[in-house]
Structure 1
Amino acid sequence: MTEVPLAGNVTDGVVRIGDTVRRPAGPWTDAVDAVLTHLHDVGFRGSPRALGRDERGRQVLEFVPGSTGAEQGLYAPAELRELGRMLRELHDALAEFTPPPDAVWHRLIPPDREELVCHNDVAPWNLVRGDRGWVLIDWDCTAPASTVWDLAYAAQSTAGLRADRGLADSAARLRAFTDGYGPDDRQRAELPATLGRRARAMHDFLKANAHRRPWARIWLEDGAYWRETAEHLDGHEAVWREALS
């Protein structure tokens, strides 16, 4: 069947064949497949099914039709609540997952601590909306982290918390996402300070890897954005704390 390269900023070598996606496999792919199989088995609908390997050893995944958030533009508050709820359902489902004893993870950014396996890249470019609702794609960076670390990145990216957006609008959008997630007292207390730390970790990772593909291009395009975003989030921690109170 015909291989069709996927559009957008996708990993090199990722193609669609019929109703499947083929990705180059790495040492971490078996662990990712175990995560996706667990999610399917427990009834979580927001992830693609793992379908094994093809004749070239590539990872085979279910193709999920729909459009990404990057194509749809800024999310409405009701959508942010839906996405927060989906992330909470994902964390609850992964709390029941026991990684294989020989699991290898593709960890790019060290987390604040390890509590459970997390997606680690919940962002508009990895969220597809189709007939069955929201589906989270690109699981290559799945690895143990904390719920707050995962929540901070997801909240910042989906709510669009950035320096050029008004504080009142940003606070309302953050509140919509977290209301959908339903954080407990500890998560609510830790999240405001974690927002800036997580954005700075992304900036520092891109800077440290600016000499390597594909990070060189991403550093040139987005390095300044992540620095400005981290400074903005750190500088208005009291605003985020009030929004979550």
Structure 2
Amino acid sequence: MEHVLTGGNVAAAVVRVGDTVRKPVTPATPAVEALLNHLDGFPGAPRHLGRDDQGRQVLEYIPGTVGDLPETNHELHRVGRLIRDLHDALQDFSPPPDARWHVVIPPDREDLVCHHDLAPWNLVRAHNRWVFIDWDGAGPGSRLWDLAYAAQSFVSMTRTSDPHTDAPRLRALADGYGLDDHQRAELPEHIGAHTRGMYDLLRTSKEEPWTRLYAEGHADHWGPAADYVERHLDVWRTALR
């Protein structure tokens, strides 16, 4: 029996069948499957299990909670460590020569294939592992670009936030990742640029689901969030020293 999985803004017709998830195939699916095959055995990503008789992508279903913001600095440190382990596991991944990706916000550079949507809504907290799901937007990027989006979303840097609360949370995430001094100096600007890039995507895209999300008011979150991050760059720099 199929059970529709709800909660995503982008992927359509995603269902659970027993201990598996079935997703429609897109032009990027073969490249994503190669990436997940490379990560087979890494506990922070779901296993790719092939295609079903309808041609859908089949993935391991991870039972657990999704969408919870880290409540403590210890949890943020764990998220940072998980992202570092993920990036290290991807460092030697060689994409297929005909790989097609679906990266919607241009990254700062392309030296690593990244997830590009590391956020609470894509983190399953299972009883024995934390797993990043929804790899449809994976593609070339960089460690800091991927981490910048995670920082904004997991720290929850929004227009209603308090920078004096967010600063130690950002530090915990960066410490968990193990950023060096140069990366710490660069991260705040990357957070601002990536957050602004999300707002610009919603504001200018003529494609679905972005036009629908814009009509639903999502840009009203991302624009002020970008303003907030950019307004307090000195606070983030000080926290990361």
Return the TM-score normalized by structure 2: 0.95
Deviation at 1:218, TM superposition (A): 2.0
Q: Which residue number in structure 2 is paired with residue 217 of structure 1?
A: 212
Count of matched residue pairs:
239
Code of the aligned partner of 1:5: V
Q: Which residue number in structure 1 is paired with residue 3 of structure 2?
A: 4
Among the aligned pairs, what percent are the same residue?
A: 51
Does residue 185 of structure 2 align to residue 192 of structure 1?
no
Secondary structure of 2:218's counterpart equals helix
Code of the aligned partner of 1:62: E
Deviation at 1:58, TM superposition (A): 0.7
Does residue 149 of structure 2 align to residue 153 of structure 1?
yes
CA distance in 2, matches of 1:221, 1:123: 19
Does residue 34 of structure 2 align to residue 49 of structure 1?
no
Of 229, 234, 239, the residue aligned with 2:235 is 239
The alignment's C-alpha RMSD in Å is 1.2
Of 91, 114, 130, the residue aligned with 1:95 is 91
Deviation at 1:124, TM superposition (A): 0.4
Code of the aligned partner of 1:213: E
**Per-residue deviation, residues 146-204 of structure 1 (Å, max 9, x unmatched):** 11110100011011112211111010110111110111233112101111110000001
Task: Check whether the contact 1:74–1:160 (CA below 8 A) recurs between aligned residues.
Answer: no
Q: Which moved more, 1:220-229 or 1:44-53?
A: 220-229
Q: Which residue number in structure 1 is paired with residue 15 of structure 2?
A: 15
Structure 1 unaligned blocks of 5 or more = none
Q: Which residue number in structure 2 is paired with residue 37 of structure 1?
A: 37
Alignment of 1:202-213 (within 5 A): 202-209=198-205, 211-213=206-208
Q: Which residue number in structure 1 is paired with residue 65 of structure 2?
A: 67
Deviation at 1:224, TM superposition (A): 1.2
Secondary structure of 1:221's counterpart equals coil
Does residue 173 of structure 2 align to residue 174 of structure 1?
no
Deviation at 1:82, TM superposition (A): 0.4
Q: Which moved more, 1:7-16 or 1:164-173?
A: 7-16
